[in-house]
Structure 1
């Protein structure tokens, strides 16, 4: 990190630390899913995108043009249908429906969910057509970030509850397939719902929890933001460490290591897995909301599995799944490699090209920038091979808890 500050400057280094801290929070959410309970979440990008959208829509000011075109009353009935339908769906999902055969007991909740989606779509369609014709969007609620960030965490947790309720009773590969598929659906929806997210036009600037760079300067403003992120990491880290050493943590490790034995001891395996899946996604959502706020722009096209799923998994694996300190260390290490590798590779490529051209008359290729960008993936892959060869459990593997 010191080399990054000395070589790239304080502004670049501070921005990297802020984004690395937000990614560390996301990685902590994943490590309790995989490290604590053995749940393979292959759709981190969907939860990050959901949380980022909710944080944006809650915090940005409203759009007066929307009131002129469609009016807030156009949303009243669809929102009422949405909340009523969600409530009925949750109630139906928790009822036993003993009057129905076992294989059909999920049918009422499924039918209510599909009916709610269709009814909301029909109710919103006139307002959507008007807004998209005028290239406008509905705008936000203009609420403070201390409301927007918890709302984002709750939204990610709600999406996790929906997926987990359906898939956690099945084998682990079904969870991976479901999270991967639903995350792609979420990202595709956000990219194409111009009336809701402005699509490729983007939403900027997003409100900040501290005075923005234009008021305090880039480094000082980012430094204050880094302080908030560090406090969040410390709180989450302390709570997870306490949970890991508690009877709840012992129970989760028992379910992870031997599901059949835990079930034989009377533990509700599916319910406990759903708890930790929802908790992990809430933490992922908080980190995603903080990450999108730090960039000060909401761009639905920026959410990609490479940056927001693959990279998070590498942070957890290299740092040490099940070890919270190792996860934080892995997040900063992997993100440092990811961000510095491109300018470092370009510098080395340019130096080698200048030497070759001056010494042997060799003309360098014109796409050095593209090749330097591709070196990020190569160096991350090299780091995976080296670390897992030397330390298969990660840099700081899971520590067994000893009880006196």
Structure 2
């Protein structure tokens, strides 16, 4: 038997190690969850787990972008908002005041004008193919774009003003909530495809700035489009795909919703695990680790990077739709970078970029810390105030509740500092198999 054959046989026959670290960490996490159940009650704790499961879907989307391909997406908030909007738009009941009037036809007519204007501008950018000088082509395209934009936006403002005054807003389609989740993922993927064509050629720091800026643009559009989203007036309640608290009570209804999110995470985890260990996953990691070598092997670098970016955006859109439906509220002003981008980033860092199981662990652990840091800080501050008043006659400070709320930011900052210092690869680092 040759030396190479012997190495292959040893690799196949070698037993896999017992996952001691995984067992210990998940056992500790389970103990913490049980402690929260005993301290806060079943209804509160189940709600916390459902929200943590929604964040786990978002974190899985980020870990395949950052962990699989090394793409730092700082615009998670924007894709989450798109998913939440689609969940609202598809599940909210139909608005008869809008659909039974002539407003849908007028809105469609303006949108057709906008599509025609976009096609004209696109055609103007191709005038150099028929002999027009490039500078003149650019000037014509810019002037045409500005004029057509002013015309279309004027027509659109007239229609949207009528919609707001007569119908309030467009309303929804009255479909099951899960249809909005699917469309939300598709819309986030489409926007990610558009962004990827523009931004994936940038360096990682510029990509982060670009995605963050685009996320803010998406939020601003949803916030200021009162005719489409009701803006800061919010839309609620959003129907659940399962029986709600009115039918089953808070605890049982939330437990049923938790089972739906758990099944979704299991399916996503299975598909990502298969993809990670497939030739496609090995190719993605090869591009991440050595792009020059992968390109020399004939791999289409840009196409593969675009695929992974779009896939991550799809998961973020789905997770955003699931989260908005569970909260039964769509508030464009509630999508904050701290909550929907930085917190997801901390989850991925804590669990381990590129490790799907670690990402799920990090999502639940970080969200538990994020939620429980406020009541724990309030209890400690109240105890300190009581002892200070008892021993030193201190005057109780004002707004202790708001100070306790800010403690969660300090706790998360301290957590990420400790992780980066003592476990820079995460608590469950990516497992890289070495052959030979």
- TM normalised by structure 1 equals 0.91
1:69-120: per-residue Cα shift (whole Å, max 9, x none)? 6522122223445667789999999xxx899999999999999998987675
1:170 deviates by 2.6
- 1:99–1:161 distance in 2 versus 1, CA, 3 Å: farther
Structure 1 match to 2:332: 300
Decide whether the 8 Å contact of 1:164 with 1:175 is kept in 2: no
**Does 2:301 correspond to 1:269?**
yes
Decide whether the 8 Å contact of 1:70 with 1:131 is kept in 2: no
Structure 2 match to 1:126: 158
Within the candidate set 263, 267, 285, 1:235 is matched to 267
Q: Can you give the 5+ residue segments of structure 1 that lack an aligned partner in the other structure?
A: none
Residues 319-334 of structure 1 aligned to structure 2 (within 5 Å): 319-334=351-366
CA RMSD of aligned residues (A): 3.1
- 1:23–1:110 distance in 2 versus 1, CA, 3 Å: farther
Structure 2 Cα separation of the partners of residues 268 and 55 of structure 1: 35
- 1:125–1:359 distance in 2 versus 1, CA, 3 Å: same
Residues 181-330 of structure 1 aligned to structure 2 (within 5 Å): 181-330=213-362
Structure 1 Cα separation of the partners of residues 181 and 204 of structure 2: 30
**Does 2:423 correspond to 1:380?**
no
Decide whether the 8 Å contact of 1:74 with 1:124 is kept in 2: no
1:171 deviates by 2.1
1:385 deviates by 2.1
Structure 2 match to 1:151: 183
Q: Can you give the 5+ residue segments of structure 2 that lack an aligned partner in the other structure?
A: 1-32
- 1:338–1:30 distance in 2 versus 1, CA, 3 Å: same
Structure 2 Cα separation of the partners of residues 230 and 220 of structure 1: 15
Q: Could you list the runs of 4 or more consecutive aligned residues of structure 1 that deviate by over 3 angstroms after TM superposition?
A: 67-70, 78-93, 97-123, 132-135, 401-404
| Structure number, greater radius of gyration | 2
Residues 19-38 of structure 1 aligned to structure 2 (within 5 Å): 19-38=51-70
Q: Which moved more, 1:109-118 or 1:167-176?
A: 109-118
Residues 33-182 of structure 1 aligned to structure 2 (within 5 Å): 33-67=65-99, 71-81=103-113, 121-133=153-165, 136-182=168-214
1:65 deviates by 2.1
Structure 1 Cα separation of the partners of residues 144 and 255 of structure 2: 48
- 1:208–1:308 distance in 2 versus 1, CA, 3 Å: same
1:32 deviates by 0.2
Say which SS state the counterpart of residue 72 (structure 1) adopts. helix
Structure 2 match to 1:16: 48
